[in-house]
């Protein structure tokens, strides 16, 4: 399994499947006229309509405070829209039962802006967490986790608790935790916000490899330099609560 991940992500010659435009292809995410306000405040997001296709790659961008994190939280089902319609993996999210929400979350990998690593668990345990909560035995995933940790350059930091890790190391641990289940959709919130430009470039490469292996990737960032490194990527730009799409 681990070698599969690494093989898939690593094989450069794997041909990228072109985004399908046919309506028959099941979409990963679909928003229709979605609006959101926090409490009684003004609408942060207004009439948001877009879709995320399988095996696609997009940057979600816009100035700080534009609502990028909020949009990702809507996809994660951590927020309910105040109006509009959201579909995840072709399911209307308002009809999902508790168990189905869990099942959908297992198909999504998330890298939070503030990492959200559990401070009392080692790096190894943090990265293994999604497999552990599925009820898998530790021996069944050990090799897989260790291999991924080595691959993101944390092989020597396995025993360490997150508070001891540097910003870049935490970033990579958070990314490894999102990748370990080979998600169909990867959401990353400012994944290069805490690292130097060199590491940022390497992390972007990692996401691109993941995308080539078949995962839909959404990277929220306001780093224009980062986006310039992948010219072909789709851009979803938030401004004044509205979304503008540049394919």
Partner 1 sequence: MMTETADTLEPSVEALPARLKRDMPLVPASSIAGRALIIVIAIMTFLAALTAGAAMLIAGASQGWRESVSREITVQVRPTPGRDLEAEAQKAADIVGAVPEVAEARVFTKAESEHLLEPWLGTGLDLGELPVPRLIVVKLKEGAPPPDLPALRKALVDKVPGVSLDDHRQWLARLGVMANTIVVVAAVIFALVIIAMAFAVAFATRGAMAGNREIIDVLHFVGAEDRYIASEFRRHFLRLGLEGGGLGAALAIATFMLAGAVSSWWAATPSGDQLEALFGSFLLNWRGYAVIAFIGASIGMVTGSMSRAIVFRHLHNLS
Ligand X SMILES: Nc1ncnc2c1ncn2[C@@H]1O[C@H](COP(=O)(O)OP(=O)(O)O)[C@@H](O)[C@H]1O
Binding site for partner 1 (CB under 8 A): 2-3, 6, 10, 12, 76, 78, 98-99, 101-103, 105-106, 110, 116, 118, 120-122, 124-125, 128-130, 132-135, 138, 142-143, 146-147, 150-153, 158-159, 172, 177, 181, 199, 202, 205-206, 209
Told to check if 38 binds ligand X by CB under 6 A, we report yes
Smaller CB separation from partner 1, 126 or 216: 126
Told to check if 74 binds ligand X by CB under 6 A, we report no
Told to check if 69 binds Mg ion by CB under 5 A, we report yes
Told to check if 40 binds ligand X by CB under 6 A, we report no
- Strand 234-239 vs strand 57-61: parallel, antiparallel, or unpaired? parallel
Query: Which uninterrupted H or E stretch holds 44?
Result: strand 43-52
Find, among 232, 244, 231, 236, the residue nearest to 219 by Cα: 236
Beta bridge partner(s), residue 235: 59, 246
CB of 118 to ligand X, least distance (A): 22
98 binds, among partner 1, ligand X, Mg ion, none (CB under 5 to 8 A by kind): partner 1
67 binds, among Mg ion, ligand X, partner 1, none (CB under 5 to 8 A by kind): ligand X
Give 65: exposed, middle or buried? Use CB within 10 Å, 0-12, 13-18, 19+: exposed
For 108, the 3-state DSSP assignment is strand
Place of tokens 């399994």: 1
Beta bridge partner(s), residue 57: 217
Residues that bind ligand X (CB under 6 A): 38, 44, 62, 64-70
């Amino acid at each position: 399994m681990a070698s599969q991940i690494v093989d898939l992500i690593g094989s450069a010659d794997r041909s990228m499947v072109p985004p399908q435009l046919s309506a028959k292809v099941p979409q990963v995410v679909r928003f229709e006229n979605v609006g959101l306000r926090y409490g009684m405040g003004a609408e942060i997001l207004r009439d948001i309509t877009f879709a995320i296709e399988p095996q696609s790659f997009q940057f979600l961008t816009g100035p700080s405070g534009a609502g990028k994190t909020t949009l990702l939280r809507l996809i994660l089902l951590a927020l309910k829209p105040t109006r509009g319609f959201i579909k995840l993996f072709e399911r209307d999210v308002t009809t999902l039962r508790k168990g189905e929400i869990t099942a959908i979350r297992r198909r999504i990998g998330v890298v939070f802006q503030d990492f959200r690593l559990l401070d009392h668990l080692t790096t190894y345990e943090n990265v293994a967490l999604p497999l552990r909560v599925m009820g898998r035995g530790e021996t069944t995933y050990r090799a897989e986790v260790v291999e991924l940790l080595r691959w993101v350059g944390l092989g020597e930091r396995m025993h360490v608790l997150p508070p001891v890790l540097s910003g870049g190391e935490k970033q990579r641990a958070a990314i490894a935790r999102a990748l370990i289940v080979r998600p169909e959709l990867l959401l990353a919130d400012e994944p290069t916000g805490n690292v130097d430009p060199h590491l940022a470039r390497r992390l972007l490469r990692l996401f691109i490899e993941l995308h080539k292996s078949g995962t839909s990737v959404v990277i929220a960032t306001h780093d224009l330099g980062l986006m310039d490194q992948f010219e072909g990527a789709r851009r979803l730009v938030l401004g004044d609560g509205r979304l503008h799409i540049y394919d």
